[in-house]
Chains A and B, each alone.
Chain A
Amino acid sequence: MSDQLLRVSGLCAGTEDKPILHDVSLSVGAGQTHVLMGPNGAGKSTLGHVIMGDPAYQVTSGTIEFDGADVTDDSADKRSLAGIFLSYQAPVEVPGVPLYSYLRTITQKRPELKMTARKFRDRVGQIADQLDMGSSFLTRELNVGFSGGEKKKIEMLQLLLLRPKLAILDETDSGLDVDALSVVSRGIEAYRQACDGALLVITHNTRILERLSVDRTHVMVQGKLVAEGPASLIDDIDAHGFEQFEHAKGGDAQ
């Protein structure tokens, strides 16, 4: 299926002493919106980081293809430039680096986004307004001293700035107040409109999905994808929890 943007096949991965993901296969087509759900500790974030290329995890078998190329052995920075973006569940604090310097550097690396400093500043300003972020944040240190919600907005800011082909949003909605949640939802919509980007949304909360039209839902339990289905699967989970899948572990629910 070459029309798939992301194709994960038979992926097994984990840390040096602990296997976490078992035979995971999942495909996301260009411009599609997929949802990944599952109980705490199932391995959702791990999957996000493995797709992104975090060397903390080793891939023991299986492949990751992105945009027609096998990226299984590519470094994270290469994957990022190829168009994969992972919004962190817990964004990392980077002391000593002003947000401006950081944003400018990651943007200038992409030929299609190169622009003058002034234009860049304006662009960031627009996105910040869109995300209801105020104006002083640019000269502050990256993610340092920002509240949980603010950090998530900084992740969204980067998403809108970089316009990747695929965005993996790892609980971008968790810890957000009602207003921030709707701001972020609008941000996701804006991203979809701006570049028809594909989404893999990891969440425990169906609120964030209300504004999105979901193409496919995946359920992960104990490192295995145990079910895949249409958007309606989300309501099913909302009503009945994950227990139904825990019994069916390893089997195909759909």
Chain B
Amino acid sequence: MATATTATPELKLERVNTPPAQTWNYLRANDITLTVPSESRKGDVYFALPRLFEGIECGMGPDVTAWIESQAADAQYVEVRAGERRIEPIIATMDTGVMVRTGAEATIVVCADAQATSRTSAALVRVIAEKGARVRVLEFVATGDDQQHLESVGITADEGARVEVRQYFLGAHTTAAGLSCALNGADARFDLTCRYLGTDDQRLDINHVVRMRGRNGRSDLRESGVLDGRARKTLRATIDLVHGSSGSEGAELENVLVLSDDVVNKTMPVILCDEDDVAGNHGATIGSVGPEQIQYLADRGLSQEEAEALYVRALFDEALICAPTAAVRAAVLARAQTVLGTEVAGDLVDALQLDTEDRA
């Protein structure tokens, strides 16, 4: 498939990646509309995920789920047996379902790298974490400057399950990412760290949804990023404290470092609450790199510009540190080289002697 293929039919995904409650319409921050390729798969035998996965709410919504399912080759189904501690990470394909059975542990990696062939890439990941399971989902969007990437994740957590998600959105032309996690069982826990970079004319559209249904749940969402140039970012973060979630606590905090006046930075934090005995709080700090941090860095010899550059570099370094496989590190490194230049990009890899052996 060549980049300039004109024959590829297209589809408009209208108003996707929506939050549960669409308030503040005037901000025009409720959704995104994307044009994606839509090739018919007529005649192909297609392996779909078990039925159980159909009911999982995914962050970007049902239209995106349907589109990805229609475009993906076979779905990948992985089951981690009860009590198994799976060390080897599960590498997500375009359409992946992971069943983490009772007490099991697993790491799921979603990595989008620069592609020569297609302008649009996508990943759909659905995860069921059974009782007491521990799941880590690591997402890396390290696509090229002219790419558009869609990533939709849906997770359900049963009693006592712990879900940790780390997202690194390292700058594509368009990144649209939605994640929904439902804490269905009591005492379940969800921790999300999302780090993003937007420069030039890049567009980031992020939708985070936590449904707290079980009692005594905990969820903690931390988003932070750097925006420069004419980048446009919209973050919707919703913590839904559903009736019955008594004793639950949800918190969300976003830190944004805005480096240019032309940046468009929108954040819609929402707490929905249908339960008395719960606590939810949101805090959005714009320009988190407060005077204290800048002063500390200045005291050690960094000018304001150098301090800002450090924050950008740090994003990539952190992604490299967190990357669990050589292939992911290679993808992050390639992106870092484009953004930071070869010397700075390769520095941490050299120092820590990280393996970034490229895929052939």
B101 at the interface (CB under 8 A from A): no
Expressed in whole angstroms, the minimum distance between the Cβ of A126 and any Cβ of chain B is: 14
Q: Which residue of B292, B298, B313, B318 is within 8 Å of A105 (Cβ)?
A: B313
Question: In the complex the two chains form, is B296's CB within 8 Å of A109's CB?
Answer: no
B76 at the interface (CB under 8 A from A): no
B205 at the interface (CB under 8 A from A): no
How long is the Cα–Cα vector from A101 to B318 in the complex, in angstroms?
A: 9
Question: In the complex the two chains form, is B350's CB within 8 Å of A118's CB?
Answer: yes
Stretch from B12-20, B91-99, B173-181, B299-307 at the A interface: B299-307
B268 at the interface (CB under 8 A from A): no
B295 at the interface (CB under 8 A from A): yes
Stretch from A7-15, A31-39, A80-88, A216-224 at the B interface: A80-88
How long is the Cα–Cα vector from A106 to B301 in the complex, in angstroms?
A: 6
Expressed in whole angstroms, the minimum distance between the Cβ of B60 and any Cβ of chain A is: 26
Q: Which residue of B300, B311, B317, B351 is within 8 Å of A120 (Cβ)?
A: B351
List residues 103-118 of chain A with CB under 8 A from any CB of chain B: 104-106, 109-110, 116-118
A94 at the interface (CB under 8 A from B): yes
How long is the Cα–Cα vector from A188 to B224 in the complex, in angstroms?
A: 37
Q: Which residue of B296, B301, B302, B321 is within 8 Å of A139 (Cβ)?
A: B321
B195, B318, B351 — most chain A CB neighbours (10 Å): B351
How long is the Cα–Cα vector from A102 to B297 in the complex, in angstroms?
A: 9
B43 at the interface (CB under 8 A from A): no
Question: In the complex the two chains form, is B321's CB within 8 Å of A105's CB?
Answer: no
- Residue numbers in B under 8 Å from A129 (CB-CB): none
Q: Which residue of B224, B293, B295, B314 is within 8 Å of A98 (Cβ)?
A: B314
Known: A109-B301, A116-B350, A139-B321. Contact between A96 and B311, CB under 8 A? yes
- Residue numbers in B under 8 Å from A91 (CB-CB): 296
List residues 175-206 of chain B with CB under 8 A from any CB of chain A: 195
**B18-41 interface mask toward A, CB cutoff 8 Å, 1 = contact, 0 = none?**
000000000000000000000000
Known: A81-B301, A96-B311. Contact between A104 and B296, CB under 8 A? no
Known: A97-B310, A105-B306. Contact between A76 and B351, CB under 8 A? no
Question: In the complex the two chains form, is B311's CB within 8 Å of A97's CB?
Answer: yes
Count, A-B residue pairs, CB within 8 A: 99
Expressed in whole angstroms, the minimum distance between the Cβ of B328 and any Cβ of chain A is: 16
Question: In the complex the two chains form, is B301's CB within 8 Å of A101's CB?
Answer: no
Expressed in whole angstroms, the minimum distance between the Cβ of A55 and any Cβ of chain B is: 8
B274 at the interface (CB under 8 A from A): no
How long is the Cα–Cα vector from A195 to B273 in the complex, in angstroms?
A: 61
How long is the Cα–Cα vector from A97 to B309 in the complex, in angstroms?
A: 11
Question: In the complex the two chains form, is A162's CB within 8 Å of B300's CB?
Answer: yes
Known: A91-B296, A116-B350. Contact between A77 and B310, CB under 8 A? no
Question: In the complex the two chains form, is A96's CB within 8 Å of B314's CB?
Answer: yes
Q: Which residue of A53, A95, A104, A139 is within 8 Å of B224 (Cβ)?
A: A95
Question: In the complex the two chains form, is B302's CB within 8 Å of A77's CB?
Answer: yes
Question: In the complex the two chains form, is B318's CB within 8 Å of A110's CB?
Answer: no
Question: In the complex the two chains form, is B302's CB within 8 Å of A106's CB?
Answer: yes
Closest 8 CB pairs of A and B: A117-B350, A80-B301, A117-B351, A76-B298, A92-B296, A97-B314, A121-B351, A101-B317
Selected A-B contacts with CB under 8 Å, 10 pairs: A75-B303, A77-B303, A81-B301, A88-B296, A95-B224, A96-B314, A100-B348, A101-B313, A109-B306, A139-B321
Q: A81-B301, A117-B346 are in contact. List 6 more A-B contacts (CB 8 A).
A: A77-B302, A80-B300, A85-B300, A92-B295, A97-B311, A116-B350
